[in-house]
Amino acid sequence: MKRTSLPLQIPRRDFIARISTAVATWPLAARAQQPGRMRRIGVLMGGAETDPESPARVRELQQGLEKLGWKIGRNLQIDYQWTTADRAEWHDSKTDRPHFC
């Protein structure tokens, strides 16, 4: 069987240089495409969720975290747990924290 040559002839040194460059940069490109790690934090908020001041407190926390570079839904997830001013209820909620976090 007759062997045919490729229509495009590349000098051997150019071919090796191009392959070497592709192999060397491939891990860098693969690493750059991976999304950042999602962090998850648990926040125990003092007061009831229905308290009129609660949305403002949550908003302040989120704005402060965004100023530090955290983006909720992109690289940060926040789980909220609410408790009232009643100390007995607060102590009961502490037992849920390992499961909560």
pLDDT at 44: 87
Residue 12 pLDDT level (bands cut at 50, 70, 90): confident
Alpha-carbon distance of 101 to 40, in angstroms, equals 8
pLDDT at 101: 47
Residue 79 pLDDT level (bands cut at 50, 70, 90): very high
pLDDT at 30: 55
Alpha-carbon distance of 35 to 24, in angstroms, equals 21
Overall average pLDDT of the 79-90 stretch: 73
Overall average pLDDT of the 27-42 stretch: 69
Residue with tokens 């570079």: 69
Residue 55 has pLDDT above 70, yes or no: yes
pLDDT at 29: 55
pLDDT at 21: 73
Residue 13 pLDDT level (bands cut at 50, 70, 90): confident
Alpha-carbon distance of 9 to 54, in angstroms, equals 70
